[in-house]
Amino acid sequence: MPTRTPEPVGVPAAPLPMRATVSPRVGGGSSTYAPAFAAAGAVPGDGASAGILVGGRVHSANNTPVTGAAVTLISLEGQQLGRSLAQSDGSYGIGVPRAGSYFLIASAAGHKPHASTIVVGDMPVPYDILLGSGSGLAGTVRAADSGAPVAGAVIVVTDVHGDVLTTGQSDALGEFTVDDLTPGIVTLAVNSPKHRPLALPVEIESGQTTRVDVRLEPGAQVRGTIRGGGAPLRDARVTIVDAAGNVVATTTTGLDGEYAFADLDGGVYTVVATGYRPQSAEVVVTGGDVDGHDLELAPGDE
């Protein structure tokens, strides 16, 4: 009989190559392969084994690692199969006992929990997890003069560097909600037609929804048409001056001879138009818009 060479005892088999074969998944972050794929901190659950690895990074919206995030692997029957705590670089790793479909749940203080379904084959699965912040901003936009809710107001939130974090609109009741904000100081800017824009600093609390109510001052408009010789005058220069003689704004008429000034406080103004011989006319703004404030320029030297 041929003689069999005995198998070496105590020599582990060569590890599987760490190719980034990604199975279909729902939710979660990018498919970037994490260097620390088999992260330390894995805690076996009921029936867990060091089988196929699922791992990656847990990070927030600004790509900051979420240290200490708990990532739990659960079977479709609800049995916990493994758990891992994200390391200082956000990396985690869990051994999956066999190929199949599983639930992956991640949670961390100050963040919204994340749940997704992953499908595991016979190769390691890189899976990054994006945790949304539990911090947010909510409030109501109202008119300062009447207290009526302002619907459709544009909400813009920027960080201390001026970068836009998110935008939104107030609803029919003037209410708005902004989620997934990083704790710290942000700038809330609110703009609405017929109101003056407003910007104010707001401190976002960690893990909470910060509430701020906004009051928008009315911003009146003055509109009209500049004519010369009975026809609309294009490129006429129009200036509006307040009661103290200060120039508030200057504009130029369009092809139709029309002009408009917005965001005006109540008061007495003088509108000056030049194109032929300069003309001026007083206009009183009481909080509402002033339409049809037309001027007729007579021919002659300026």
C-beta separation of 141 from 192 below 8 A? yes
Q: What pLDDT digit, counting tens, does each position of 159-190 carry?
A: 888 889 889 999 999 999 988 787 889 999 99
| Structural domain count, the chain | 3
Confidence of residue 202 (pLDDT cuts 50, 70, 90): very high
The rounded mean pLDDT for the chain is: 77
pLDDT score recorded for residue 23: 33
Confidence of residue 279 (pLDDT cuts 50, 70, 90): low
pLDDT score recorded for residue 40: 37
| Domain end call among 164, 185, 216 | 216
Confidence of residue 85 (pLDDT cuts 50, 70, 90): very high
Asked whether residue 16 is domain-assigned, the answer is: no
Domain of residue 236: give its range.
220-297
Asked if 149 and 108 sit in the same domain, the reply is: no
Is the pLDDT at 34 greater than 60? The verdict is: no
| Domain end call among 197, 216, 235 | 216
Is the pLDDT at 273 greater than 50? The verdict is: yes
Asked if 126 and 29 sit in the same domain, the reply is: yes
- Give every CB contact of residue 111 below 8 A, 6+ residues apart in sequence: 60, 66, 69, 131, 132, 133, 134
Asked whether residue 35 is domain-assigned, the answer is: yes
Query: Which whole number is the average pLDDT over 38-60?
Result: 61
pLDDT score recorded for residue 128: 93
Query: Which residues sit opposite 130 in a β-bridge?
Result: 59
| CATH number, residue 145 | 2.60.40.10
Is the pLDDT at 235 greater than 90? The verdict is: no
CA distance between the termini of the chain: 121
Highest mean pLDDT: which range of 89-98, 254-263, 278-287: 89-98
